[in-house]
Amino acid sequence: MKILVTNEDLCVACYLCEEVCSHAWFKQVNRSKSSIRITALGNAEIGMAVCSQCGECIDVCPTGAISRDKIGVVRIDKKLCVGCLSCVGFCPTLTMYYHDDYVEPFKCISCGICAKECPAGALSIETVEDAPVTVTERRK
């Protein structure tokens, strides 16, 4: 499956990725609408939080709105989503995001735009082994 891989050692906390992400998907430069979050943690450490496509949210969704696409990326079908935000609460890495301008939450879908723009080469799209099959996927 295709995932966005982060390299904390290379990141310079310029936040450009957050700006291009929110602009690409919400037509605004607004870091609170970005699906990647950069945090300066102190001691020159940087946190880079983005969805790992683990798929745990697939089993938590009450409407079956969350599923994997052909390249293994976990996607939300906004037509089915009822905005309960269970996936936000149950994301192991807290990388399912929401903003009160929208009913549905949002997440990284491995589009790669931020990786292209990153000036420090700290982001890349890679193909990795598929995550374990969820109960929901097995049931289908």
Instruction: Kindly list the residues in this chain that would bind other proteins in the complex (CB under 8 A).
Output: 59-60, 62-64, 80, 82-86, 88-94, 98, 100, 103-104, 135-136, 139
- Report the distance separating Cα 70 and Cα 24, nearest Å: 21
Smallest gap from Cβ 98 to other proteins, in A, equals: 6
Residue linked to tokens 């450490």 = 45
- Least CB distance from residue 127 to other proteins, whole Å? 23
Query: Is-contact 107 77, C-beta < 8 A?
Result: no
- C-beta of 58 vs 122, nearer to other proteins: 58
Q: Shortest gap between Cβ of 100 and other proteins (angstroms)?
A: 4
Q: Which of 89, 98, 81 is nearest to 37 (CA)?
A: 98
CA–CA separation, 134 vs 130, rounded Å?
Answer: 11
Min dist CB 29 to other proteins, Å, is 21
Among residues 20 and 36, whose Cβ is nearest to other proteins?
36
Q: Which is nearer to other proteins, 64 or 112 (CB)?
A: 64
**CB of 73 or CB of 87, closer to other proteins:** 87
Residue 38 CB contacts under 8 Å (≥ 6 apart), including other chains = 11, 13, 15, 17, 18, 46, 47, 48, 49
Considering beta carbons, is residue 17 or 58 the nearer one to other proteins? 58
In whole angstroms, the minimum distance from the beta carbon of 14 to other proteins comes to 25
Q: Distance between CA 93 and CA 63 in Å, rounded?
A: 22
